Amino acid sequence: MSYKINKKELKILEMAAENCDLTIDYEYIGRAMFGQYCIGIKYKNSDDLENLCEFISENGAPKLAISIATRWQVDNLGKGYIRYNHF
């Protein structure tokens, strides 16, 4: 089951993405999702992901940061990656 992001965490995620110059895809469809949408974070390398998770953790959502870093699925986009919240 996917991680349920609450409104506070979503706000922190949006601030983190803006701070780290990353893009949030609010309607991502990953592998084997059969038309189901989820939230995804596009990034270029592991440093981007580390900076994002650090910002999220330091701003009051450590559980979300851990979930993004360890549980969210990853797709390769050719010139970058996307972490998405679907299991």
Do 48 and 74 form a contact (C-beta atoms < 8 A)?
no
What are the distances in angstroms from CA 77 to CA 5, 21, 50, 67? 24, 17, 18, 21
Question: Model-level pTM?
Answer: 0.88
58 in a domain, yes or no?
yes
Q: Which pLDDT score is estimated for 32?
A: 76
Counting the structural domains of the chain, the total is 1
pLDDT higher for 87 or 36? Answer: 36
Query: Residue 1 falls within a domain, yes or no?
Result: no
- pLDDT tens string 16-69: 999 999 999 999 997 778 888 999 999 999 999 999 999 999 999 999 999 999
Classify residue 53: in a domain, yes or no: yes
In this predicted structure, what is the pLDDT of residue 86?
A: 74
2 within some domain: no
What are the tens digits of pLDDT across the range 29-39? 977 788 889 99
56 in Cβ contact with 68 (< 8 Å): yes
Which range of residues forms the domain containing residue 34? 7-84
